[in-house]
Amino acid sequence: MARDGFDRDINYLRISLTDRCNLRCVYCMPTEGLTFFPDAELLSAEEIQRVVEAAAELGFRKVRLTGGEPLLRRDVVDIVRRIAAVPGIDDLAMTTNGLRLPELAVPLREAGLKRVNLHVDSLDPERVERLMRWSRHADLWAGVEAAEAAGFAPIKLNAVIARGYNDDDVVPLARLTLERDWAVRFIELMPLGSGEESRFAIDHYVPNAEVRATIEAELGPLEALVNRDPSDEARNYRAPGGRGRIGFISPVSQPYCGSCNRMRLTADGRFHLCLLHDDEIDLRSVLRAGGGRDAVREQLARAVAAKPTGHALAEGQHTELRRMHAIGG
């Protein structure tokens, strides 16, 4: 079991497969001026497998693949197959915008992927194009339908709420849980990096207490649900008569650092110790110097031991060196 310096059981590894994305959401990436890691700097499928094997030996049980957009990796199905075969990994999931799921959902499911979280910020076509850019609602929804048809369950939809962009969309999104056994989760904006999107997150921030009040004004009081996973970052509720769940992920207004069980691995092979800090420990150089499973396990143990107690957003501090797409969420 991997415990950090604050006696938290760190058993969840989030692996970013790439810093590239086929969208340009206004709170995440500008439309121009970006540079991306060369392919040679990304961890290979074999290197990722080696990391997961070492993590499983330390007690990690859950892996989530992220990006950028993870489905842009040409070898994504191979990566899923390798991880799914690692003894001790009980849960393998992915966060994606879903644009490539119509062609990849079935192969990913057959390779061993169990769950997907899909990024859908609005059900309104014009708002989707304004907020998420380079996207169409029909394409996003095709990804949702492909995930459901392939048997991924439960379906989780993530919506990042920005004032003046999609704060009027929270009720239509929440209504999806009335007839579907889905989880719709509302995520607060976080300032990440030093670019324009960090300023956007501050200027357009909507606290989840406001989102919940808006939903309850239309759907009625929400029933609090007991989280099956105490480390779940979402506080989950059910609308009156609803089948699914409504979740609120509130890292700014209601931090959940005390129950954090995550370690993040960036696409270029660094353990990023906290989403909102710049502290990192290099792993790629260990791998490419010939380090085997023992060396990887030792470096991961160092990262777990160095994990900070939590973020310092209240003091105005956040990560400056990486944008969201280069961290992995």
Q: How confident is the model at residue 191 (pLDDT cuts 50, 70, 90)?
A: confident
68 closest CA partner among 234, 204, 266: 266
pLDDT digits (tens, 9 = 90+) for 227-284: 777 678 899 999 999 999 999 999 888 887 778 899 999 999 999 888 767 788 999 9
Contacts of 146 (CB under 8 A, 6+ apart): 98, 101, 102, 105
- pLDDT at res. 216: 98
pLDDT digits (tens, 9 = 90+) for 74-93: 999 999 999 999 999 999 99
| Cα(80)–Cα(18) distance, integer angstroms | 14
Q: Cα separations (Å) of 94 from 114, 175, 185? A: 8, 24, 15
Greater confidence, 329 or 16?
16
Q: Which helix (H) or strand (E) holds 280?
A: strand 280-282
Average pLDDT over residues 28-45: 90
Whole-prediction pTM: 0.93
Q: How confident is the model at residue 144 (pLDDT cuts 50, 70, 90)?
A: very high
- pLDDT surpasses 80 at 196: no
The phi and psi torsions of 266 (rounded to 5 degrees) equal -75, 165
| Cα(45)–Cα(59) distance, integer angstroms | 21
Q: Which structure tokens are listed for 170?
A: 């929270």
- pLDDT surpasses 70 at 211: yes
**Between β-strands 12-16 and 62-66, what pairing exists: parallel, antiparallel or unpaired?**
parallel
Domains of the chain: 12-326 (3.20.20.70)
Q: Which of 35-39, 54-58, 180-184, 318-322 has the weakest average pLDDT? A: 318-322
Q: What is the rounded (10 degree) CA torsion for 98, 100, 102, 105?
A: -80
